Structure 1
Amino acid sequence: MSLPDFQIAAPAVDILPALRHKIDTKTKPVGALGQLENLALLIGLIQQSLTPAVRQPEVIVFAGDHGAAKAGVSAYPQDVTWQMVENFLAGGAGINVFARLNGVALTVVDAGVAHDFAPREGLLSAKIGPGTANYLEGAAMSAAQRDEAIAAGAAAVRAAAARGCNVIGFGEMGIGNTAAASLMTHCLTGASLPECVGRGTGLDDAGLSRKRNLLAQAMTRYRQAGGGDDALEVLAQFGGFEIAQMVGAFLAAAEAKMLILVDGFIVTSALLVAARLQPEVLGYCVFCHNSAEPGHRAQLDHFGATALLDLGLRLGEGTGAALALPLVRAAVAFLNEMASFESAGVSDKEA
């Protein structure tokens, strides 16, 4: 199949002066709510409304296995991927806790786990294959698999939109996917490979050294074969099926004019690809947190982004997105409910 076509336009700015006036005339000094003011402005722009709303917020967790995982790029065995999917479905993972706490719906997508799951509520089967190939030896996926995965991720988001969702976040699960994200970040931001490689699931010093060496081998193979920095080529060479599906998810969410809550390192590696394909997607994104994974800094710098939270998170699963949602609600609430100087009868500063 061919790559899906997405029609994405940047949010119209006609409403910007009215939004800025409404924010600036609240009963506070101009700028006193800091990033919440920028967030309120963004949400109003995306929804083209002076009274925006958060409706049916959802996190979609995409899961997939990586052929390189068995080579030693992770501290955990590959079976942990499917075991954690079962944990998600049983309600016991970190993302389940924060989603319940903050009133977020949760969908888990089998994008390509090396395991057969019994059908059940909350699980969407969109398996491209039982994990990717080993990128130490060749491309992780074919162009056809990549395009199929992008289309499947888009379909998952369109289903959420049909349920009434207008605020969406993405999470991921896949043993070895920080390694894949490191390679993609190196190729797509220009940051050095050592800058992009972290401890992932908790590698010790020896494990980190092995991971760096293996990823350097993967890059040597790719460069010697003439590989460059084309986003779709990089995705096929090093990505996971869950990462490829998130590329489609980002694009479909922007097309549907949703507010997109961007989680950490692996999720942002998918955004690197999506933004190369359709730069306008960035107009719908909120960067939720600064991950403890070093490559995330390179990603945020590449986008010139400031994250809402800095909690030292490196769990993934969409946890940063779920934790940022109360700030989204706070931004909407102050824009809709906080009095203006005029309505409250409070004297504004002198001109």
Structure 2
Amino acid sequence: MSGLNLDDFTSLIERPDSGARRDAQDWRAGREPRPDSLGRLDDLGEWLASAQGSVPAKPIAQPKVVLFAGDHGIAAAGVSARPAGDALRLAKAALAGESATAVLARRFGAGLRVVDMGLDCEASELPEDVTKHKVRRGCGRIDDEDALTAEEAEAAFLAGMAVADEEADSGTDLVVLGDISVGGTTPAGVIVAALCGTDASVVTGRGGSGIDDLAWMRKCAAIRDALRRARKVLGDQLELLGAVGGADLTAMTGFLLQCAVRRTPVILDGAVASAAALVGQRVAFRAPDWWLAGSVSGEPSQEKALDRIALDAVLDQGVTAGEGVGAMLTLPLVQAAAELWAELPAAPEGAAGADEGAEAVGSVDDIT
């Protein structure tokens, strides 16, 4: 289908520093409070130390929320409570600092970037730095046509890689990845169902818009019809994304894989990012070690994808809004873990907790 060789990612992506992970565990064993007493914060600190290759872990200096935006033709089938084309309004709200994600980004000291990959609007309606990677207006209705042409799919994937490089080059040291779309959980459901070999009903949820029963049935039918087409191209991940994904989802997949190449850790938000991550795992099996699942979205496709990738969401707060909101709530926990692991005090010599911790960590080399 394309001159882009996704197999190259298998050799380009390495796992986070296992030596740093072992050193981090040894370092933590000699700190207060006792090892494992900080619960998930200890896990996050260890993950960060490994991703950074630094012991102790370094505080997060430059987090960034990156939201890929696109319209989906399938929204015209009534699969969302939001009207088709409403993604442009949502993108403008985020850029104006008026969305929930923008509010949280300000509160937690994170930058916010919106990338228009396929909004159904003229490029002139948004700032140039938002639209410079735009592939097309909207995408095909995936129940009976491809979302993208082969050329558009390659362009979207390469654009996602370029955005990852831009962020890494600018000093971004942690990304919160989300989407701005209407109907985006429908192609996400198709991709997850296709890659997991399951039925449409298993991956069909209510979406962030909270659809009613009739809309749920329309969504389920759309996923079922798109699945028939998706199963014919399972052997080519880029072709799959072009057939039933969309410009935003395709770009997110390229972004995630290139972030892993550039050793940039990513927090995933929602079903769309999780579907992109599932495709990314199929491309390069080491890549998920660089990703963290932020929050449970309530979408069964997200749950199915994360289970297949073997990632456990950090939070379950009932957040279904999408647009990075759930993952943003994870950011302060990761920031707290980084600060703690940078400055935890040494345990007093001979302290019972320190001795027990050191003994517990003594055999960690055998399991990492």
Would you call these one fold, judging by a TM-score over 0.5?
A: yes
Q: What does residue 184 of structure 2 align with?
A: 177
**Aligned amino acid, residue 26 of structure 2:** H
Which range moves more in the overlay, 67-76 or 172-181? 67-76
Note if contact 1:24-1:31 (Cα within 8 Å) is conserved in structure 2: no
Note if contact 1:187-1:229 (Cα within 8 Å) is conserved in structure 2: no
Note if contact 1:111-1:245 (Cα within 8 Å) is conserved in structure 2: yes
Q: What does residue 103 of structure 1 align with?
A: 109
| Paired residues for 1:313-328 under 5 Å | 313-328=319-334
Q: What does residue 140 of structure 2 align with?
A: 133
Q: What does residue 79 of structure 1 align with?
A: 85
Cα offset, 1:321, TM superposition: 2.3
Cα offset, 1:323, TM superposition: 1.4
Which range moves more in the overlay, 60-69 or 134-143? 134-143
Q: What does residue 25 of structure 1 align with?
A: 30
**Aligned amino acid, residue 336 of structure 1:** A
Q: CA RMSD in A?
A: 2.0
Going from structure 1 to structure 2, the CA distance change for 1:228 and 1:18 (only over 3 Å counts) comes to closer
SS in structure 1 of the partner of residue 189 of structure 2:
helix
Going from structure 1 to structure 2, the CA distance change for 1:191 and 1:23 (only over 3 Å counts) comes to farther
Q: Please list every run of 5 or more consecutive structure 1 residues that lacks an aligned counterpart in the other structure.
A: none
Separation in 2 of the partners of 1:221 and 1:326?
41
Q: Does 1:220 align with 2:228?
A: yes
Cα offset, 1:199, TM superposition: 1.1
| Paired residues for 1:172-211 under 5 Å | 172-200=179-207, 201-211=209-219
Note if contact 2:230-2:240 (Cα within 8 Å) is conserved in structure 1: no
Q: What does residue 250 of structure 1 align with?
A: 256
Cα offset, 1:298, TM superposition: 0.9
Separation in 1 of the partners of 2:190 and 2:310?
20
Q: What does residue 295 of structure 2 align with?
A: 289
Aligned residues: 348
Cα offset, 1:48, TM superposition: 0.9
Note if contact 2:69-2:119 (Cα within 8 Å) is conserved in structure 1: yes
Separation in 2 of the partners of 1:348 and 1:202?
48
Q: What does residue 56 of structure 1 align with?
A: 62
Separation in 1 of the partners of 2:128 and 2:148?
29
| Paired residues for 1:256-275 under 5 Å | 256-275=262-281
Separation in 2 of the partners of 1:97 and 1:222?
38
| Paired residues for 1:157-168 under 5 Å | 157-168=164-175
Separation in 1 of the partners of 2:281 and 2:46?
21
Separation in 1 of the partners of 2:178 and 2:34?
37
Note if contact 1:188-1:231 (Cα within 8 Å) is conserved in structure 2: no
Separation in 2 of the partners of 1:167 and 1:47?
10
Q: Does 1:332 align with 2:319?
A: no
Note if contact 1:140-1:240 (Cα within 8 Å) is conserved in structure 2: yes
Cα offset, 1:221, TM superposition: 4.5
Note if contact 2:202-2:301 (Cα within 8 Å) is conserved in structure 1: yes
**Aligned amino acid, residue 57 of structure 1:** P
Provide, for residues 153-207 of structure 1, a one-character-per-residue CA deviation record: whole Å limited to 9, x for no partner: 1111211112211111211111111101010110112333211001112110111
Q: What does residue 311 of structure 2 align with?
A: 305
**Aligned amino acid, residue 4 of structure 2:** L
Q: Does 1:12 align with 2:17?
A: yes
Cα offset, 1:342, TM superposition: 3.1
SS in structure 2 of the partner of residue 202 of structure 1:
coil
Separation in 2 of the partners of 1:112 and 1:104?
25
Note if contact 1:106-1:122 (Cα within 8 Å) is conserved in structure 2: no
State the TM-score, normalized to the length of structure 2: 0.89
Cα offset, 1:289, TM superposition: 1.0
Cα offset, 1:25, TM superposition: 2.1
**Aligned amino acid, residue 220 of structure 2:** R
Separation in 2 of the partners of 1:17 and 1:109?
37
Separation in 1 of the partners of 2:111 and 2:354?
43
Q: Does 1:123 align with 2:130?
A: yes
Going from structure 1 to structure 2, the CA distance change for 1:34 and 1:191 (only over 3 Å counts) comes to farther
Task: Work out the percentage of aligned pairs sharing the same amino acid.
Answer: 30
Going from structure 1 to structure 2, the CA distance change for 1:349 and 1:130 (only over 3 Å counts) comes to closer
Separation in 2 of the partners of 1:339 and 1:305?
30
Note if contact 2:192-2:278 (Cα within 8 Å) is conserved in structure 1: yes
